[in-house]
Structure 1
Amino acid sequence: MGIRKLGYLGLNVTDVEAWTHLLGQTLGIGVTTAKYGTDEIALAELDVFQYRLALYPAAEDSPREFGWIVDTPSILERLTRKLSDAGFTVEDGTAEERGLRGATHLRWFTDPVGYRVELAVGETKVRTGVARPDGTPGATGLGHFVLASPKLAELRKLYESVLEFRLTDYRNPGLFFFRCNPTHHSIALGSAETAGLHHLEFEYA
């Protein structure tokens, strides 16, 4: 299998302060800030790596990018060829994007819904332990997300046939769970009239 795990998500959010309060004070997740272009973005620290969730200030709430980790440049090249053969245009990430993700290689494409999907090689460890607000337990990792869309068939073809995810389970009508490692699922795809992120799961001990 080419993709090893869900690496990170980026969200456009209208109220970064409310999100950071939820993450830090309610969920016990450490939050730092970083410059990205002219914006200051918030980064949720779920483990020892760079970040798992990035929050970008925006006029509308929406998914910004879904990031998947692959182990080697050769796997990245193979998946790039499969995506190109399937009709997707694959672009290289910028140096600023690689630096923010902590990746040595980064490529991206747009999925059938219009969302940016990234494939990254490399994860940078930036701490020996996770900083947590006092008195809170904190999360232990990023689990999965559920993407709802009217283009369920196209998304299933992308993740199953091109990105090599495996179907683990399904619920009628129109909800399918996919894995890229032994975890039950890293992404689920659901049918909906309007595209959007249904939910995002953080793991706790």
Structure 2
Amino acid sequence: MRLITHLRHVDLAVPDYDKQRDFYAGVWGLTEVASDGGISFLAAEGSPEQYVVRLRKAAEKRLDLISFGAASESDVDALAERLRAAQVQIISEPGKLDTPGGGYGFRFFDLDGRTVEVSADVAVRKHRKLEAKESVPVRLSHVVLNAPDIDATRTWYETHLGFALSDTLAHPRMGQVMHFMRCNPQHHSMAIARGPHTSLHHVSFELRGLDEYMYGTGRLLRAGVRMIWGPGRHLAGDNTFSYFLDPHGNTVEYTTELEELDEDTWHPHVHDFSQPEVTDQWGTANPMNELIAKESFNDVDRGVFVAPPV
């Protein structure tokens, strides 16, 4: 039984906190809703989530945690009990959360040592419908994680958190390189990419529509933000993509029109990543190459099996 409902937020720790905060609350288009001595909570204008990105000032860059939602406190408790029985390492027992919006949740390590939080009953943030040509994120779309053994990580998320496989990217020489995983009808809320080490691959943000996605892409280019790949349209998930680097070298994406699946009838596909129309149906993006791939490997994550201090 699936107890996870959706992706809530992705939390990052960075040494140059001010520069990172200026980027996300500035050109990237998020709204700072709270800050407190080296921690900033940033919301997306169209999202009911209290925040979609949390930034924390730290000596070392790391992924602090990934947060998923659950439908109720009893589902949070049931998931904690399930993980405990499976001897998953629990970081904090279910209880009241003191982050914006409150709620009830707990934290644990996944197979690769990432901190994961699951919460319910978080207060809904007052949000709004974005207008035509507003090129700021509506909501958080998905997160992609690098893992040395993508099959083991996929199995862990299927077994313990009820994720389902939507599609896989494979290459004739390299074998399988990415699993797209869902926790609701959205094609993927998370994907697992094959990388040399555990790290963040990219964080993706949904724009209002194609026009807004292109306006946003252009706005970032005019602001001098480095685009590493795009604009284009993937085959798996059928979503658009423009990938940029934030000031600390994390890959962040503007996307729109991610596919919604009929979960009862969907069967996963294996797409050949070496075919150009698989990476980009439109043919408008710069070709995928080893240099682009290396950018998405990111730095070795210093937060593996180390719970964030807050």
> Normalized against structure 2, the TM-score is what?
0.59
- Counterpart secondary structure, 2:79: helix
CA distance, structure 2, for counterparts of residue 49 and residue 111 of structure 1 = 23
Q: Distance in 2 between matches of 1:116 and 1:101?
A: 19
3-state secondary structure, aligned to 1:26: coil
Unmatched runs of 5 consecutive residues or more in structure 2: 171-175, 209-310
Task: Answer with 152-161 or 107-116: which moved more.
Answer: 152-161
User: In structure 2, do the counterparts of structure 1 residues 157 and 86 end up closer, same or farther at CA, with 3 Å as the change threshold?
Assistant: farther
Partner of 1:102: 101
1:26 equivalenced with 2:24 (yes/no): no
Judging by fraction of residues, say which structure has more strand: 1
Q: Which runs of 5+ in 1 are unaligned?
A: none
Q: Against the structure 1 CA distance between its residues 49 and 187, is the aligned structure 2 distance closer, same or farther, given a 3 Å change threshold?
A: closer
Matched, 1:188 2:164: no
CA spacing shift, 1:160–1:128, aligned 2, 3 Å: closer
Letter in 2 for 1:54: R
Question: Secondary structure of 2:77's partner?
Answer: helix
Q: In 2, are the aligned partners of 1:145 and 1:199 still within 8 Å (CA)?
A: yes
- Judge which range, 181-190 or 152-161, deviates more: 152-161
- The reply on whether 1:77 has 2:77 as its aligned counterpart is yes
Q: Does 1:7 align with 2:8?
A: yes
Find the aligned partners of 2:6 and 2:169 in 1 and give their Cα distance. Answer: 23
Match of 2:42, SS state, is strand
Q: Is the 8 A contact 2:142 2:204 kept in 1?
A: yes
Alignment of 1:79-158 (within 5 A): 79-90=79-90, 91-92=92-93, 95=96, 98-129=97-128, 137-158=135-156
Residues of 2 paired with 1:109 and 1:101: CA distance? 20
For residues 60-98 of structure 1, the C-alpha deviation after alignment (integer angstroms, 9 at most, x for no partner) is 211001100000122222212221222113222675xx1
Amino acid at match of 1:177: F
Query: Residue deviations 1:14-58, cap 9 Å, x none?
Result: 2222222222331222124422xxx43111111343211100001
Number of residue-to-residue matches in the alignment: 197
State, as a whole percentage, how many aligned pairs show the same letter.
25
Structure scoring higher RCO (CA < 8 A, sep ≥ 6) equals: 1
Amino acid of the structure 2 residue aligned with 1:113:
D
Secondary structure of the structure 1 residue equivalent to 2:99: helix
**Over the residues paired in the alignment, what is the CA RMSD in angstroms?**
2.2
DSSP 3-state at the match of 1:194: coil
In structure 1, distance between residues paired with 2:48 and 2:103: 17
User: Counterparts of 2:107 and 2:142 in 1: how far apart (Å)?
Assistant: 19
Give distance in 2, aligned partners of 1:144 and 1:104. Answer: 22
- What's the CA shift for 1:59? 1.4
Kindly indicate whether the alpha-carbon contact (under 8 Å) linking 1:45 and 1:52 is maintained by their aligned counterparts in 2. Answer: yes
Partners of 1:136 and 1:43 in 2: CA distance: 21
- Measure the CA separation in 2 of the matches of 1:10 and 1:154: 24
Structure number with larger C-alpha Rg:
2
Matches of 1:117 and 1:101, distance apart in 2: 17
* Partner of residue 207, structure 2: 204
